[in-house]
Copies of this chain bind each other. A is one copy, B any other.
């Protein structure tokens, strides 16, 4: 990293995420660092597939121009593997956060092994088709078992999410299937269920697999308004009533549940996996968690 000769107390900073492949790693880690700073407006540039020196040279020029325009150095988060390419970027007027270089040297020493310095490994399949099939199968399962359409498959589900309409069951199921290879089914709690304070009969044999979603009534109201504006279904009073009933049901039936009001799908999914003790398959991670 260079001295901060161009640095200014600026509230608007440019950020580049560089990668020789998808950019997912650079963006994920960069984003998690940026969120630690308030009062900065980030002007983000994602540059994936930097796979030639030509592209890298053109980008170096763009970074320098950006530094000149901004009057301060852009922050550059990089997962570039190629040493020559990293050197070119490091020579620009930027603050270079070199994820690869920072850690790989120490890892080579510790493992007494040269690293492959090969691009594209992170999200490659590397001949391992198992996880591809697992994910496909989980996605198919989730699509075929969305909205309680075929409860006869609940026995095969890893988990069954329940909640009133628009409580986020489908996206959460899909995320768990795609990211973790979890066979996630879901079942909507409807107005008919509300007549009693019991779990729907169809769910009783699978009580151990249930996980409830809930959220604050105002947010449910906003989400339903987007779908069917000014309908009885979207009315705030209706949402309040459904959420109140739903949360009582979870409490009385001892269904573990999560309030999704202020967290993202990523966090909802990870929390459910963690609390339900389900095996995580993210990047083939072990069964421990």
A: residues with CB less than 8 A from B are: 1, 4, 7, 9, 13, 17, 21-25, 27-29, 31-33, 35-40, 43-49, 73, 75, 79, 81, 95, 97, 99-100, 102-104, 106-107, 109-113, 115-118, 120-126, 129, 132-133, 135-137, 139, 143, 146, 170-171, 174-175, 178, 219, 222-223, 226, 262-267, 269-271, 274, 280, 282-286, 288-289
Residue of B nearest to A174 (CB): B174
Contact A262 B125 (CB under 8 A): yes
Partner of A25, one of B32, B125, B175: B32
Contact A270 B23 (CB under 8 A): yes
Contact A123 B266 (CB under 8 A): yes
A47, B4: Cα distance in complex, Å = 36
Which of chain B's residues have a CB closer than 8 A to the CB of A171?
135-136, 139, 178
A265, B22: Cα distance in complex, Å = 11
Partner of A263, one of B9, B123, B133: B123
Knowing A43-B286, A178-B171, the reply to whether A266 touches B32 (Cβ < 8 A) is: no
Minimum CB–CB distance for A124 against chain B, Å: 6
Contact B45 A124 (CB under 8 A): no
A117, B33: Cα distance in complex, Å = 10
Partner of A32, one of B122, B143, B223: B122
A1, B271: Cα distance in complex, Å = 30
Knowing A111-B13, A289-B45, the reply to whether A25 touches B36 (Cβ < 8 A) is: no
Minimum CB–CB distance for A36 against chain B, Å: 4
Contact B264 A37 (CB under 8 A): no
A64, B112: Cα distance in complex, Å = 21
13 additional A-B residue pairs with CB within 8 Å, beyond A22-B266, A36-B81, A49-B274? A1-B106, A4-B110, A9-B112, A25-B32, A31-B283, A36-B117, A46-B280, A102-B102, A123-B267, A133-B223, A135-B171, A136-B223, A175-B178
Which of chain B's residues have a CB closer than 8 A to the CB of A45?
285-286, 288-289
Contact B21 A267 (CB under 8 A): yes
Which of chain B's residues have a CB closer than 8 A to the CB of A283?
27-28, 31, 44
Residue of B nearest to A77 (CB): B103
A183, B39: Cα distance in complex, Å = 32
Which of chain B's residues have a CB closer than 8 A to the CB of A33?
100, 103-104, 107
A206, B58: Cα distance in complex, Å = 33
A109, B75: Cα distance in complex, Å = 12
A194, B285: Cα distance in complex, Å = 42
Which of chain B's residues have a CB closer than 8 A to the CB of A263?
123-125
Residue of B nearest to A288 (CB): B45
Which of chain B's residues have a CB closer than 8 A to the CB of A22?
266-267, 269-271
A14, B37: Cα distance in complex, Å = 33
Please list 25 pairs of residues, one from A and one from B, whose beta carbons are closer than 8 Å in the complex, sorted by A's number. A1-B106, A13-B111, A22-B266, A22-B267, A31-B122, A35-B121, A36-B121, A37-B115, A37-B116, A43-B286, A44-B286, A46-B286, A73-B110, A95-B106, A95-B107, A102-B102, A123-B264, A123-B266, A124-B262, A133-B226, A135-B171, A139-B174, A143-B143, A143-B146, A178-B265
